[in-house]
Chains A and B, each alone.
Chain A
């Protein structure tokens, strides 16, 4: 056996390992599994749930039981995954967790995807020998937050949300409180989630193994609108949904199902089907123009992208003095809803501003909060009426009795259906910056970039949370910083504050890897490869499938400017496509008297 190639045994089978951080990773790489609740590969190991315990037999005959997620792999040991002893421990853990759990599974938002439910089923837990939670012990469910619902009765204290909030967001709004059997996961001093500086990114929900953290569900409300004969329901779908929703219909991650998704939308009964990718192109036209304008004047640089609502809220609550750095562009969702409400009644018969309902299908939980921003309402009416997450929309397709696998692909409706590769990559961290670079370069030089592929901006895994690329626009050097997670964004902000920032454009996505890993996407916290596959699906569409790869080449975009918007950043464009930000520090819970 050589130095760098070490092996151990898993249930007698020899398995090689190299630099895996823990035994659990070795076990999973070998194609086997042990159950876990608290282990999330992208977060620090915690060892809280004790579900991943295994028996480890050393060559000298010593046998120990340890949690595989916290144990470094050692050469020569024999790991036993399913001895009676460890199975008994896991069953006891499950029973203890279930004893303290609100087991109203059928009406739980997480039913079907709940890991506690799954392992209880696998381990055949049918009786609980401990006193169980009584109705009078139930704690109040916190529904105050516009996106996230917190139900402490379903919390198993695995701490995944606390770690996600701290490690992704930086200023954790969730924390442990009290000790021992009284321990709770909650915001500061038991406040409501609406009363702390939550940015609605939904990563706490994305890593939660149970129904303790879920998102607000608008499926039934949307069905009601669709079935209301007096309403015309228009739908738009975000870039990253097309490469993720297939997973919920047993397709591989990254498979682009956009045509079938349009078809499903029509079968469900949406009157018009548009694509948020169209307005991603529109965003690029506006944002690239805005960026070049600022670059020329040298003011409010670096420009912050404003597509990610969680990031926008982070700036508004934590660094309100920097809101003028934010691009004034609405997010693609906001732009499309605004042009839909403004232009569709003019071009489509039977559609009026009053009878139109705009629904967007998003990978995101923060979008549910975004539509309620006072800046995005006209006369008290929201531009976007409902946001459905990828998960909710899959639920809707299933409840309509449809199977995404069996639908024939269709096209989106005009005038907001056509899109370019620049738009589709919005769904991955770095995509917005890459798309902006393609168009900004063209706007300055009248030529296209020598290569449309800017590899340095791509990548969605842990090592690519922060990327830096220097562009050379015919002699003008432009530094572009691409970050995902607000922790990395905070570092960039600190660089700006202490004067060491070497970039003029800052793209921020709050979720690790960008929207492909958004809070509303199918569960991917146990397998970071999933978001990589999804991103690959987007780049494949950009590089292979689409006729155009640059936003300024989109014929529908050109038409929109010719017929309605005049030119990027025109007065009318400002009215429809741009927005303002406010200082939310005031009145936040950290604004101390």
Chain B
């Protein structure tokens, strides 16, 4: 794993476990909630969950966390940029949009979180908004019919907000 790990507040995780039901069948919901808090799954949190819940082990939790693309083992950015690359978005030009995002945020090959931790970028397979293709979602907000120029404006606006 890259980057430094966040310090985990285990009482918070206990709370999440209780809230979700505390059974091993609730694991995905628990991991989603933990990821909401930390924006990724810290290793200590996975070990803690695997030790705490009956029938699980840290290795099993890690297996689930690495199986699903929705979970991240690296800290995600404050702004999570999801660039849709489903069939519709792809044919309507999602790749140039993704490349524009990477260029604007200066993300080289293989990296998906900016050094300042502000942005993380990922492609997703379909956001279910094919009529608006190509679509980019930034922290739950949908940006329809993107072009490489339009997305630059969106990112510039966020950056300006942040730099104020």
Chain A residues in the interface with B (C-beta under 8 A): 166, 171-179, 186-189, 196, 589-590, 592-593
Q: Are B57 and A179 in contact (CB under 8 A)?
A: no
**B67-79 interface bits toward A, Cβ cutoff 8 Å, 1 = contact, 0 = none:** 1000001000000
> How long is the Cα–Cα vector from A186 to B8 in the complex, in angstroms?
24
Q: Are B51 and A188 in contact (CB under 8 A)?
A: no
Can you give 6 contacting A-B residue pairs, CB < 8 Å? A171-B51, A172-B57, A175-B62, A176-B67, A592-B44, A592-B47
A264 vs chain B, min Cβ distance (A)? 41
Q: Which residues of A contact B1 (CB under 8 A)?
A: 189
Kindly name the residue among A166, A174, A590 whose own CB sees the greatest number of chain B CB atoms within 10 A. A590
Interface assignment of B10: CB less than 8 Å from any CB of chain A: yes
**Which of B8, B10, B48, B57 touches A171 (beta carbons < 8 Å)?**
B57
**B3-25 interface bits toward A, Cβ cutoff 8 Å, 1 = contact, 0 = none:** 00001101000000000000000
**Which of A171, A177, A593 touches B63 (beta carbons < 8 Å)?**
A177
Kindly name the residue among B58, B59, B61 whose own CB sees the greatest number of chain A CB atoms within 10 A. B59
Interface assignment of B146: CB less than 8 Å from any CB of chain A: no
Q: Are A175 and B10 in contact (CB under 8 A)?
A: no
**Which of B47, B51, B62 touches A177 (beta carbons < 8 Å)?**
B62
Q: Are B8 and A188 in contact (CB under 8 A)?
A: no
> Known: A179-B66, A179-B67. Contact between A188 and B58, CB under 8 A?
yes
Q: Which residues of B contact A186 (CB under 8 A)?
A: 59
Kindly name the residue among A172, A175, A592 whose own CB sees the greatest number of chain B CB atoms within 10 A. A175
Q: Which residues of A contact B8 (CB under 8 A)?
A: 592
**Which of A173, A178, A196 touches B67 (beta carbons < 8 Å)?**
A178
Q: Which residues of B contact A589 (CB under 8 A)?
A: 47, 58
Chain B facing A: main interface SS: helix
> Known: A176-B63, A592-B8, A592-B10. Contact between A189 and B43, CB under 8 A?
yes
Q: Are B59 and A178 in contact (CB under 8 A)?
A: no
Interface assignment of B60: CB less than 8 Å from any CB of chain A: yes
Interface size class of B (residues with CB under 8 A): 20 to 34
> How long is the Cα–Cα vector from A114 to B46 in the complex, in angstroms?
35
Q: Are A175 and B47 in contact (CB under 8 A)?
A: no
Interface assignment of B50: CB less than 8 Å from any CB of chain A: yes
Q: Are A174 and B59 in contact (CB under 8 A)?
A: yes
A468 vs chain B, min Cβ distance (A)? 23
Q: Which residues of A contact B61 (CB under 8 A)?
A: 188
Q: Are B66 and A590 in contact (CB under 8 A)?
A: no
A287 vs chain B, min Cβ distance (A)? 32
**Contacts between chains A and B (CB distance < 8 A), count:** 55
Q: Which residues of B contact A173 (CB under 8 A)?
A: 57, 59
A589 vs chain B, min Cβ distance (A)? 6
> Known: A188-B46, A188-B50. Contact between A590 and B58, CB under 8 A?
yes
> How long is the Cα–Cα vector from A179 to B62 in the complex, in angstroms?
12
> How long is the Cα–Cα vector from A198 to B1 in the complex, in angstroms?
22
**B21-63 interface bits toward A, Cβ cutoff 8 Å, 1 = contact, 0 = none:** 0000000000000000000000110111011000001111111
Q: Which residues of A contact B44 (CB under 8 A)?
A: 592-593
B8 vs chain A, min Cβ distance (A)? 7
Q: Which residues of B contact A187 (CB under 8 A)?
A: 59
**Which of A172, A179, A592 touches B59 (beta carbons < 8 Å)?**
A172
Q: Which residues of B contact A189 (CB under 8 A)?
A: 1, 43, 46, 58, 62, 73
Q: Which residues of B contact A177 (CB under 8 A)?
A: 59, 62-63, 66
Q: Which residues of A contact B47 (CB under 8 A)?
A: 188, 589-590, 592
> How long is the Cα–Cα vector from A370 to B47 in the complex, in angstroms?
26
Q: Which residues of A contact B59 (CB under 8 A)?
A: 172-175, 177, 186-188, 196
> How long is the Cα–Cα vector from A187 to B58 in the complex, in angstroms?
8
> How long is the Cα–Cα vector from A166 to B60 in the complex, in angstroms?
9
Q: Are B66 and A178 in contact (CB under 8 A)?
A: yes
Q: Which residues of A contact B63 (CB under 8 A)?
A: 175-177
Q: Which residues of A contact B67 (CB under 8 A)?
A: 176, 178-179
Q: Are B48 and A175 in contact (CB under 8 A)?
A: no
Smallest Cβ-Cβ distance to B10: which chain A residue: A592
Smallest Cβ-Cβ distance to A490: which chain B residue: B54
> How long is the Cα–Cα vector from A187 to B62 in the complex, in angstroms?
9
Smallest Cβ-Cβ distance to A179: which chain B residue: B67
Smallest Cβ-Cβ distance to B65: which chain A residue: A177
Smallest Cβ-Cβ distance to A318: which chain B residue: B51
> How long is the Cα–Cα vector from A584 to B34 in the complex, in angstroms?
28
> How long is the Cα–Cα vector from A189 to B51 in the complex, in angstroms?
14
A2 vs chain B, min Cβ distance (A)? 41
Q: Which residues of B contact A593 (CB under 8 A)?
A: 7, 44
B111 vs chain A, min Cβ distance (A)? 19
Q: Which residues of A contact B60 (CB under 8 A)?
A: 166, 172, 175
Instruction: Known A-B contacts: A188-B58, A590-B51. Give 7 more (CB < 8 A).
Output: A166-B60, A172-B59, A174-B59, A176-B67, A188-B57, A189-B62, A592-B47
Smallest Cβ-Cβ distance to A590: which chain B residue: B51
Q: Which residues of B contact A178 (CB under 8 A)?
A: 66-67
> Known: A179-B67, A590-B47, A593-B44. Contact between A188 and B10, CB under 8 A?
no
> How long is the Cα–Cα vector from A592 to B43 in the complex, in angstroms?
10
B58 vs chain A, min Cβ distance (A)? 4
B101 vs chain A, min Cβ distance (A)? 25
Shortest Cβ-Cβ A-B pairs, 4 listed = A175-B59, A188-B58, A175-B63, A172-B57
Kindly name the residue among A166, A171, A174, A179 whose own CB sees the greatest number of chain B CB atoms within 10 A. A171
B49 vs chain A, min Cβ distance (A)? 11
> How long is the Cα–Cα vector from A189 to B46 in the complex, in angstroms?
10
Q: Which residues of A contact B43 (CB under 8 A)?
A: 189
Smallest Cβ-Cβ distance to A592: which chain B residue: B44
Smallest Cβ-Cβ distance to B50: which chain A residue: A188
> Known: A188-B62, A189-B62, A592-B8. Contact between A175 and B57, CB under 8 A?
yes
A56 vs chain B, min Cβ distance (A)? 31
> How long is the Cα–Cα vector from A590 to B58 in the complex, in angstroms?
9
Q: Which residues of A contact B62 (CB under 8 A)?
A: 175, 177, 188-189
